[in-house]
């Protein structure tokens, strides 16, 4: 019984990039609406309603992006009004709303992606592709907190030695340069020590084993298979032109046929996969509690 965030990082990443990839390369308004609504609901599913500033920021971003396009682009045949001798058209407004919904929806999805995909999971993914990139990334992530803590230690020690005693701008600049020089010297020495330690532990030799915490299970393979099938259906529908939609010069949309409906249903199921997993986990958990 696993939550969606507990699935193998490779399966979760493939699902995330499938959802966002379809959304970014297809401007079909019903599909964009599913993307935005699904991204908001998935973010609320994981983070709850406590991140009011995030929702306010994305709301303001949506308004800015939606209103910026009709003020910049004046294409279209349906003029709503004229502003400073420039026509504001309905087509440009609708295109701005659709684009803003797509961008905000994808941002919501990637916000959830950064919450689920921790640094350990990202290192696992990059290690599957190239171990050297994974090593460089892990060392970079490790050095960020190390440098911050070492900088605080250097600053405290320099204060104890009487630095910044005169409390003026030249003394402040001189002190900061001294602290920076000490920090760079420490970083270089620490880098040499790390390289010697890695060499002593056999880095670079062939047939070296690696530690992998995450293993593929039946649920991960099932998630990958369902994602691949739904992605293939959506790609086929897009290739056949069933999601064709034009904003300029006038809004033209062919009546949704069998292919378009199948594509929308497939994408909706793809978006709702984690909701189904979380619902199944909740039902099983309540069932176990009821039998205790």
Asked if 117 and 168 sit in the same domain, the reply is no
What was the pLDDT predicted at 108? 92
pTM: 0.74
Would 208 be classed as within a structural domain? no
Q: Examine the domain organization and report whether 225 and 181 are in the same domain.
A: no
Q: Which two tokens stand for residue 101?
A: 């919904």
Q: Does residue 210 sit within a domain?
A: no
Residue that finishes a domain, picked among 177, 200, 223: 200
Q: Going residue by residue through the chain, which has 292 residues, state the pLDDT in tens, using 9 for 90 and above.
A: 678 888 888 899 999 999 999 998 888 899 999 999 999 998 888 777 777 788 899 999 999 989 888 888 878 888 888 877 788 888 888 989 999 999 999 999 998 888 888 877 877 777 767 767 767 777 777 777 888 888 888 888 888 877 766 777 777 788 888 888 888 898 888 888 877 887 777 766 666 666 567 788 888 899 999 999 999 999 999 888 888 888 888 888 777 888 889 999 999 999 999 888 888 777 777 777 777 6
Which tokens is 157 given? 């020690």
One domain for residues 187 and 259: no
Residue 210: per-residue pLDDT: 60
The reply to whether 15 falls in a domain is yes
Based on the fold, state whether residues 105 and 245 are members of the same structural domain: yes
Residues 173 and 265 in one domain: no
Q: Are residues 227 and 113 located together in one domain of the fold?
A: yes
Is 206 contained in some domain? Answer: no
Question: Residue 245: enclosing H or E segment and its boundaries?
Answer: strand 245-246
**Ramachandran angles phi, psi of 252, nearest 5°:** -130, 130
Residue finishing a domain among 200, 223, 245: 200
135 found inside a domain: yes
Residues 118 and 152 both lie in one domain? no
Q: Are residues 184 and 256 in the same domain?
A: no
Angle between helices 90-116 and 52-72 (to 10 degrees): 150
Residue 187 in tokens: 């970083």
Q: Which of 200, 226, 253 is the last residue of a domain?
A: 200
**Beta carbons of 211 and 135 less than 8 angstroms apart:** no
Report the candidate in 70, 97, 100 with the shortest Cα–Cα distance to residue 86.
70
Same domain for 111 and 8? yes
Predicted pLDDT of residue 36 = 92
36 and 86 co-located in one domain:
yes
Are residue 251 and residue 118 in the same domain, yes or no?
yes
Is there a domain that residue 186 lies in? yes
In a domain, 207, yes or no: no
The residue range of the domain holding 69 is 4-122+215-290
pLDDT score recorded for residue 287: 78
Please count the structural domains in the chain. 2
Do 146 and 221 fall within a single domain? no
Which residues have CB under 8 Å from 122's CB, separation 6+?
Answer: 9, 137
So what's the pLDDT on residue 244? 84
Is residue 209 one of the residues assigned to a domain? no
* 52 Rama sector, left if φ>0, alpha if ψ -120 to 50, beta otherwise: alpha
């Amino acid at each position: 019984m696993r939550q969606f965030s507990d699935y193998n990082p490779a399966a979760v990443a493939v699902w995330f990039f499938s959802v966002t990839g379809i959304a970014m390369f297809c401007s079909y308004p019903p599909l964009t609406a599913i993307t935005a609504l699904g991204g908001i609901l998935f973010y609320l599913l994981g983070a709850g309603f406590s991140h009011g500033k995030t929702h306010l920021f994305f709301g303001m971003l949506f308004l800015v992006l939606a209103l910026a396009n009709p003020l910049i682009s004046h294409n279209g045949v349906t003029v709503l009004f004229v502003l400073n001798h420039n026509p504001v058209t309905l087509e440009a407004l609708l295109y701005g709303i659709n684009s803003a919904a797509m961008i905000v929806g994808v941002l919501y999805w990637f916000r959830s992606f950064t919450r689920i995909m921790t640094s350990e999971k990202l290192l696992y993914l990059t290690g599957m592709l190239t171990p050297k990139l994974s090593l460089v990334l892990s060392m970079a992530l490790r050095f960020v907190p190390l440098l911050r803590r070492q900088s605080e230690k250097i600053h405290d020690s320099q204060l104890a030695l009487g630095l910044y005693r005169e409390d003026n701008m030249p003394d402040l600049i001189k002190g900061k340069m001294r602290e920076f020089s000490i920090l760079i010297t420490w970083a270089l020495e620490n880098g040499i020590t790390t390289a010697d330690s890695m060499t002593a532990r056999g880095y670079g030799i062939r047939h070296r084993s690696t530690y992998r915490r995450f293993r593929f299970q039946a649920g991960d393979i099932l998630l990958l298979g369902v994602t691949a099938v739904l992605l293939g259906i959506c790609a086929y529908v897009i290739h056949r032109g069933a999601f064709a939609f034009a904003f300029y010069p006038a809004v033209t949309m062919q009546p949704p046929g069998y292919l378009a409906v199948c594509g929308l249903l497939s994408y909706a199921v793809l978006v709702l996969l984690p909701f189904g997993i979380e619902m199944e986990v909740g039902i099983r958990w309540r069932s176990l509690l009821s039998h205790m």
